[in-house]
Amino acid sequence: MKALLIARRELAGYLRTLSGYVILAILLAVNGLFFNAYALGGASKRSAEVLSGFFYYSSGFTIVAAILVSMRLLAEERQTGTLPLLYASPVRDRDIVLGKFLAGLAFLALYLVLTLYMPLLVLVNGKVSFGHVAAGYLGLLLLGGASLAVGTFGSSLAKNQLLAAIFSAVMLVALILCWLLARITEQPLADVFSAMSLWNQHYPPFQTGLIHVRDVVYYLCVTYVALFAATRVLEARRWR
Amino acid sequence: MSTPASFGTGLAATGAFVAGLVAVFIAERVLGAGSGRVALAALGVGVAVAATAWRVVRMLAAPVARRTLERWVLTLYGLGLLALALYFVRGDVGTALVGEPLSRSSPRLSGVLSVLFPALLLCALVPLAMVEAALVAMARAPVPETGRVRSALFSGLGVAFAVVFAFAATYVATEADASWDLSYFRTAKPGEATRKLVRGLNEPLQVTVFFPPANEVGEAVRQYFRDLSPESPRLGLEVLDQAVEPARGKALGVSNNGSVVLARGDRKEILTLGLDPERARGQLQRLDAEVQRRLLAVAKPRRIVYLTGGHGERADTRPVPGEAVRPSVAQLKELLRAQNVDVRTLTVAEGLGTEVPRDASLVAVLGPTHALLPEEVAALREYWERGGRLWIALEPDGAGLEPLLRPLGLRSLRVPLANDRVFFRATRQQSDRGNLGTANFSSHPSVTSLSALGSQGAVAFLGAVALEPVTPPVPGVMLDTSVRAHPETFADANGDFEPGPGEVTKAWPLVVAVERPAPEGKPASRAVVMADADAVGDGILGNVGNAYLAVDTLRWLSGEEALSGVTTSEEDVPIQHTRSQDVAWFYATVFGVPVAVLAVGFFVTRRRGRRAPRSAAVAGGAR
CA-CA-CA-CA torsion sign (B296, B301, B302, B305): negative
> Is the pLDDT reported for residue A88 higher than 90?
no
Distance from CA of A213 to the nearest CA of B (A): 6
Is the distance from CB of A226 to CB of A167 less than 8 angstroms? Answer: no
Q: How confident is the model at residue B92 (pLDDT cuts 50, 70, 90)?
A: confident
Give the pLDDT confidence of B343-400 residue by residue, as tens digits: 999 988 888 888 899 899 999 999 888 888 999 999 999 999 888 999 999 987 887 7
* pLDDT given for residue B582 in this prediction: 74
CB atoms within 10 A of CB B217: 22
A-interface mutation test, from B179, B581, B597, B611, most A Cβ less than 10 A away: B597
Q: What is the mean pLDDT of residues B180-189?
A: 74
Q: How far apart are CA B488 and CA B438, in angstroms?
A: 11
Q: CA dihedral defined by B61, B64, B69, B73, rounded to 10 degrees?
A: 20
Q: Write out residues 580-619 of B within 8 Å (CB-CB) of A.
A: 581, 585-586, 588-591, 593-595, 597-598, 600-602, 604-605, 608
CA-CA-CA-CA torsion sign (B539, B544, B545, B547): positive
Across the interface, do B575 and A224 touch by the CB < 8 Å criterion?
A: no
Q: How far apart are CA B159 and CA B130, in angstroms?
A: 10
Q: What is the mean pLDDT of residues A6-19?
A: 87
Is the distance from CB of A81 to CB of A219 less than 8 angstroms? Answer: no
Which chain B residue shows the shortest CA-CA distance from A207? B183
Q: For chain B, what is the mean pLDDT?
A: 85
Q: What is the mean pLDDT of residues B273-298?
A: 85
Distance from CA of B64 to the nearest CA of A (A): 20
Provide, rounded to the nearest whole percent, the portion of chain B with pLDDT above 90: 30
Q: How confident is the model at residue B321 (pLDDT cuts 50, 70, 90)?
A: low
Cis peptide before B472 (omega within 30 of 0): yes
Q: CA dihedral defined by A95, A97, A103, A104, rounded to 10 degrees?
A: -170
Strands B410-418, B389-393: pairing is: unpaired
Q: How far apart are CA B333 and CA B554, in angstroms?
A: 12
Is the distance from CB of A7 to CB of A103 less than 8 angstroms? Answer: yes
Give the pLDDT confidence of A24-37 residue by residue, as tens digits: 999 999 998 888 88
> Is the pLDDT reported for residue B142 higher than 80?
no
* pLDDT given for residue B159 in this prediction: 94
Give the pLDDT confidence of A115-143 residue by residue, as tens digits: 998 888 888 777 788 888 999 999 999 99
Which residues of chain A have a CB within 8 Å of the CB of B178?
212-213
* pLDDT given for residue B598 in this prediction: 92
B-interface mutation test, from A120, A123, A125, A207, most B Cβ less than 10 A away: A125
* pLDDT given for residue B608 in this prediction: 67
* pLDDT given for residue B317 in this prediction: 57
Q: How confident is the model at residue B127 (pLDDT cuts 50, 70, 90)?
A: very high
> Is the pLDDT reported for residue B166 higher than 90?
yes
B116 near A CB under 8 A: no
Across the interface, do A20 and B601 touch by the CB < 8 Å criterion?
A: yes
Residue ranges of the alpha helices (H) in B107-145? 107-137
Residue in B152, B155, B180 nearest the CB of A211? B180
Which residues of chain A have a CB within 8 Å of the CB of B593?
28, 32, 114, 117
Q: What is the mean pLDDT of residues B486-506?
A: 89
* pLDDT given for residue B363 in this prediction: 94
Tell me the C-alpha to C-alpha distance, in Å, between residue B201 and each of B188, B315, B448, B507. Answer: 22, 35, 21, 41
Residue in B162, B590, B593 nearest the CB of A114? B593
Give the pLDDT confidence of B410-435 residue by residue, as tens digits: 998 889 999 988 888 777 788 889 88
> Is the pLDDT reported for residue B521 higher than 80?
no
> Is the pLDDT reported for residue B50 higher than 60?
yes
CA-CA-CA-CA torsion sign (B216, B221, B224, B230): negative
* pLDDT given for residue B613 in this prediction: 57
Residue in A189, A208, A224 nearest the CB of B183? A208
> Is the pLDDT reported for residue A187 higher than 80?
no
CB atoms within 10 A of CB B337: 14
Classify residue A81 as left (phi > 0), alpha (psi -120 to 50) or beta: left
* pLDDT given for residue B512 in this prediction: 94
CB within 8 Å of A1: residues ≥ 6 apart: none
* pLDDT given for residue B621 in this prediction: 40
Which residues of chain A have a CB within 8 Å of the CB of B590?
29, 32-33, 36
Q: Write out residues 175-214 of B within 8 Å (CB-CB) of A.
A: 176-185
Which chain B residue shows the shortest CA-CA distance from A190? B29
Q: How far apart are CA B187 and CA B217, in angstroms?
A: 9
* pLDDT given for residue B99 in this prediction: 78
Residue in A29, A188, A232 nearest the CB of B159? A232
CB atoms within 10 A of CB B179: 12
Residue in B179, B182, B575 nearest the CB of A129? B182
Is the distance from CB of B446 to CB of B510 less than 8 angstroms? Answer: no
Tell me the C-alpha to C-alpha distance, in Å, between residue B613 and each of B610, B618, B619, B621. Answer: 8, 10, 10, 15
Which chain A residue shows the shortest CA-CA distance from B163? A225
Is the distance from CB of B262 to CB of B276 less than 8 angstroms? Answer: no
Phi, psi for residue B245 in degrees, rounded to 5:
-120, 65
> Is the pLDDT reported for residue B49 higher than 90?
yes
B130 near A CB under 8 A: yes
Q: What is the mean pLDDT of residues B481-493?
A: 92
Is the distance from CB of B84 to CB of B24 less than 8 angstroms? Answer: yes
The DSSP secondary-structure symbol of A43 reads: S
Is the distance from CB of B553 to CB of B444 less than 8 angstroms? Answer: no
CA Rg value for chain A: 19
Which chain A residue shows the shortest CA-CA distance from B596? A25
Q: How confident is the model at residue B620 (pLDDT cuts 50, 70, 90)?
A: very low
CB within 8 Å of A193: residues ≥ 6 apart: A178, A179, A181, A182, A185
Across the interface, do B130 and A229 touch by the CB < 8 Å criterion?
A: no
Across the interface, do A239 and B162 touch by the CB < 8 Å criterion?
A: no
- B465-469 β-sheet, strand order: B465-469, B410-418, B490-491
Helix (H) or strand (E) run with residue B193 in it: helix B192-199
Q: What is the mean pLDDT of residues B16-29?
A: 90
A223-227, B200-204, B565-569: least confident range? B565-569
CB atoms within 10 A of CB B322: 5
Tell me the C-alpha to C-alpha distance, in Å, between residue B378 and each of A45, B216, B389, B523. Answer: 46, 58, 15, 20
B103 near A CB under 8 A: no
Q: For chain A, what is the mean pLDDT?
A: 89
> Is the pLDDT reported for residue B3 higher than 80?
no
Q: How confident is the model at residue A192 (pLDDT cuts 50, 70, 90)?
A: confident
Provide the β-strand partners of residue B263: B206, B268
A172-186, B175-189, B505-519: least confident range? B175-189
Please choose, from the candidates A230, A185, A176, the residue with its C-alpha nearest in 3D space to the C-alpha of residue A203. Answer: A176
Distance from CA of B113 to the nearest CA of A (A): 13
Q: How confident is the model at residue A44 (pLDDT cuts 50, 70, 90)?
A: low
Please choose, from the candidates B301, B294, B284, B265, the residue with its C-alpha nearest in 3D space to the C-alpha of residue B198. Answer: B294
Please choose, from the candidates B338, B346, B414, the residue with its C-alpha nearest in 3D space to the C-alpha of residue B380. Answer: B346
> Is the pLDDT reported for residue B2 higher than 60?
no
Is the distance from CB of B561 to CB of B446 less than 8 angstroms? Answer: yes
A102-106, A183-187, B323-327: least confident range? B323-327
Across the interface, do B183 and A22 touch by the CB < 8 Å criterion?
A: no
Q: How far apart are CA B277 and CA B284, in angstroms?
A: 9
* pLDDT given for residue B568 in this prediction: 67
CB within 8 Å of B48: residues ≥ 6 apart: B16, B17, B20, B21, B24, B80, B81, B84
In a 3-state reduction of DSSP, which class is residue B560? coil
Which residues of chain A have a CB within 8 Å of the CB of B602?
18, 21
The DSSP secondary-structure symbol of B266 reads: T
* pLDDT given for residue B623 in this prediction: 35
Provide the β-strand partners of residue B512: B481, B529
CB within 8 Å of B60: residues ≥ 6 apart: none
Cis peptide before A188 (omega within 30 of 0): yes
Residue in A114, A126, A221 nearest the CB of B575? A126
* pLDDT given for residue A148 in this prediction: 96
Q: How confident is the model at residue A38 (pLDDT cuts 50, 70, 90)?
A: confident
* pLDDT given for residue B97 in this prediction: 80
**Strand ranges, E, within B123-258:** 179-181, 205-210, 235-240
Across the interface, do A185 and B29 touch by the CB < 8 Å criterion?
A: yes
Tell me the C-alpha to C-alpha distance, in Å, between residue B401 and each of B141, B351, B444, B508. Answer: 106, 19, 24, 19
Residue in A36, A127, A235 nearest the CB of B155? A235
> Is the pLDDT reported for residue B165 higher than 90?
yes
CB-facing half-sphere around the CA of B577: CA atoms within 13 A: 22
